[in-house]
Amino acid sequence: MKKRISNFALLLGVAALAMFSSCQQSDPEEVLMRQGDIVNFAGRKWDVKGSVNQVGPGPNFFSKLYEDVWVDEKGYLHLNIANRNGNWYSTEVISQDTMGYGTYTWTIQADPMSFANNVVLGLFTWDNNTFFTQANSEVDIELSKWGNAESEVPLTYSVQPVNFGPYFDERSEYANTDSNNLLGITTHQFTWTDSLITWRSWRGDIDMVNPIMSSWSFDLSNPARIKYEGGQSSNPIIIPAPGNTTNARMNFWTLPHVAVGPENAMEHEVVIRDFRYEPAQ
């Protein structure tokens, strides 16, 4: 069986080497977690996004290579930002299952403070077909410094639209926790209803009962906002509703207006240990 040691440990430094060095890539034909442009992760099938031209978010090039999107022997999903033939490539996977109101939970293994200033890990919902009616039905958990080297807590919760035309700061919140709490294994969750969205984060895996390290909520008392993009505008939105083609997505990408590729010119890797979706009752 072909194996390679994950380069994720290189990003975290020698001190974290022992923690992450056990993650290895197996030959996809043997493990069958990755078949063509579909990756099997957390009991679901996910389409791997690829592009030969720069596309959103960013825009960026997106890689479909096995080396950049893969699942290890433990069932953990690995997403890379890598330089391939002189171009920087981001990665994204899109659930084949459609989803709606309910609870979305991700467990990740990372050190967001070690990310380059313009690197973004996105955990979110999206619908290509609801721009006008629901601003693409987007609810976000994002780990990034957003190009700011002074960022102290690179974790934000958001409900779109936030920064499409005017910046609507009431629709996004930085996590109220110490950045050291984000090192290693952490779980991030939001519960989406038609009148309230609540976010929570805690240390450890999904099933661990640990104190909440950060939380936020957004309700209908906020003003309606319009998403402006590509010369078009959505209806005014407070809390977006899911559509018939809404799904969960995960992406690992860069802000090109800060730098071409990661600002520190280093390849990045992040590990998604688990994802769960519980529909609203």
What's the pLDDT at 11?
A: 36
Closest CA to 263 of 150, 111, 147: 147
Q: Above pLDDT 90, what percent of the chain?
A: 83
**Fold of domain 3-279:** Jelly Rolls (2.60.120)
pLDDT tens per residue across span 221-271: 999 999 999 999 999 999 999 999 999 999 999 999 888 899 999 999 999
Q: What are the domain boundaries of the chain? A: 3-279
* Residue 10 pLDDT greater than 90, yes or no: no
pLDDT tens per residue across span 153-190: 999 999 999 998 899 999 999 999 999 999 999 999 99
More confident: 2 or 119: 119
pLDDT tens per residue across span 16-55: 333 333 345 545 444 558 889 999 999 999 999 999 999 9
